[in-house]
Amino acid sequence: MLLKLLYKTKLLPVLGLICLLCFCHTPARAQYFDIDNGYKSVRIPFKLIRNLVVIKLKINGRGPFNFILDTGVGLMVITEPKLVDSINLTNKRTIKMAGLGEGDAYEAYVTPPLKIEIPNLTSYDVAAAILKTDHFNLSNFVGIPIHGLLGYEFFSNLAVKLSFVDSTITVYKPKEVRRFRTGEKLPITVEYHKPYIQAKVILPNGKEQMSKLVIDLGAGHPVSLENMIKKNGLPQKFIIANLGVGLAGPISGFLSRIDEIDLGKYRLKKVITSFPNDYDEATMKSLSVPRDGNLGVGILKRFTVVFDYPDNAIYLKPNANFGNPFEHDMSGIEYYAAGEGFKHLVISRVEPGSAADEVGLEKDDEITSINFKPVGDMTLEEIDNLLKSKNDRNLLIEVYHDHRFDRVILTLKRRI
């Protein structure tokens, strides 16, 4: 799997690199969206699924397709190879993604400009890379068909407001963003098509540091800090974690907490944080912009957020979720949705020493019900919330294991 239940990490930096590799072969031209004449703003519904923002759009008159809105992606990526036939491409080129492997698995199509249809918005010269192989299995992680990611083009020309309380996106002409004066305006930089912010981080040892973070709507976790282990070591309490996987393979690391992260005047305490294993020197040099990590939806969803790339700014206003404690999965189960309609829940990994490990759950077991409710009648978001709901809570889990159904009582255990 690409994105883990283990704090729903991200398509990771490799995907941003892929985009740059793909589009360095295409003519340089502005790729952007604009609001249709007669509208000052446009509202777009979204679904927040496992901390990912999913919108619907059409391509070349076909669809609708489900795309993840992702500020951590430099340019549009289509992750579902079958879309090559669906969207009637008459002209496409194949490129190899250098340095990421051999063979067809590491090739992509580069498209000509596509007609991206979102109601009352018009796209201009938006092209995409179509992966020849779906490495990321986003559909299995999210539990609905996912066809790709939409990044910089959506944000480059407009002010984009995300309300996580009512699951709406409102797109404005940049001059209209003044109506959000009640939020705090913070400076950002947009470098190589991605937004960066400076945040003060207070580590468990009391050390304070300013960190340059990618503001990353495609990252489900609250925050990730890179190259911290070598400099500062790990906090005393941590768990070993699979943080995600990309074309280059799995990303291993640790999950723990930092004491605080400050975004302007807003202070968030005891934040669950990903600590990837220290990258080697070659990997660090491959990053287009030096940075200290990324800021994900685990934090952003506690605010109403406005991205204003044209003015190099972001606006934050706390919402009803701001004061909620940060919690992580307490079961030790990582899982994905499978089968027709993604109604089957299959365990992909059990954390050694976790609550699930103690009751004998194993990889490839299928969870069929939780507290007598069939998992097919539950959303993945509901299941995620149950599995991190309360320390020492008992859940009755029915599983299909070794060709028979078993029931176990799973006692949730806070691990960090």
- Please name the fold of domain 333-411: Pdz3 Domain (2.30.42)
Contact 196, 74 (CB under 8 A): no
CA distance 304 to 316: 6
Distances (CA, A) of 252 to 1, 127, 238: 13, 32, 13
DSSP line for 282-308: HHHHHSSS--SEEE-HHHHTTEEEEEE
State the DSSP code for 324. P
**CATH numeric code, 12-171:** 2.40.70.10
DSSP line for 98-117: TTS-SSGGGEEEE---B-EE
State the DSSP code for 375. G
| Stretch among 2-6, 100-104, 337-341, 371-375 having the lowest mean pLDDT | 2-6
* 355, containing H or E segment: helix 355-358
Nearest 5°: the CA angle 366, 367, 371 is 165
Q: For residue range 162-177, list pLDDT tens digits in order.
A: 999 999 999 998 887 7
Q: How confident is the model at residue 279, as a pLDDT?
A: 62
Domain 175-318 has CATH 2.40.70.10: yes
The yes-or-no verdict on residue 62 having pLDDT over 80 is yes
Higher-pLDDT residue of 12, 288? 288
Omega prior to 222 cis, within 30 of 0: no
CA-based nearest residue to 78, from 149, 17, 152? 149
The yes-or-no verdict on residue 276 having pLDDT over 70 is yes
Q: How confident is the model at residue 10, as a pLDDT?
A: 42
> Residue 310: CA atoms inside 13 Å, Cβ hemisphere, count?
14
Q: For residue range 398-411, list pLDDT tens digits in order.
A: 999 989 999 999 99
Which value, in Å, is the radius of gyration of the alpha carbons in the chain?
21
> Residue 379: CA atoms inside 13 Å, Cβ hemisphere, count?
10
The yes-or-no verdict on residue 26 having pLDDT over 50 is no
- 96 SS3 class: strand
Q: Round to the nearest angstrom and report the end-to-end CA distance of the chain.
A: 23
CA distance 280 to 267: 32
Q: Which residues contact 202 (CB under 8 A, 6 or more apart)?
A: 208, 258, 259, 260, 261, 262
Higher-pLDDT residue of 60, 233? 60
Contact 374, 368 (CB under 8 A): yes
Residue span(s) of the chain under CATH 2.40.70.10 come to: 12-171, 175-318
CA distance 257 to 161: 29
Write out the two tokens for 49. Answer: 């699924």
CA distance 4 to 357: 17
**Residue type for position 400:** Y
| Stretch among 42-56, 69-83, 130-144, 243-257 having the lowest mean pLDDT | 243-257
CA distance 69 to 49: 12
CA-based nearest residue to 129, from 27, 54, 19? 19
CA distance 413 to 303: 28
Mean predicted confidence (pLDDT) in 93-110: 62
> Residue 169: CA atoms inside 13 Å, Cβ hemisphere, count?
23
CA distance 41 to 38: 9
Contact 127, 112 (CB under 8 A): yes
Residue span(s) of the chain under CATH 2.30.42.10 come to: 333-411
CA distance 407 to 367: 10
The yes-or-no verdict on residue 283 having pLDDT over 70 is no
CA distance 416 to 237: 6
Write out the two tokens for 342. Answer: 């993604």
Mean predicted confidence (pLDDT) in 279-297: 75
CA distance 208 to 412: 33
CA 347 to chain centre: 21
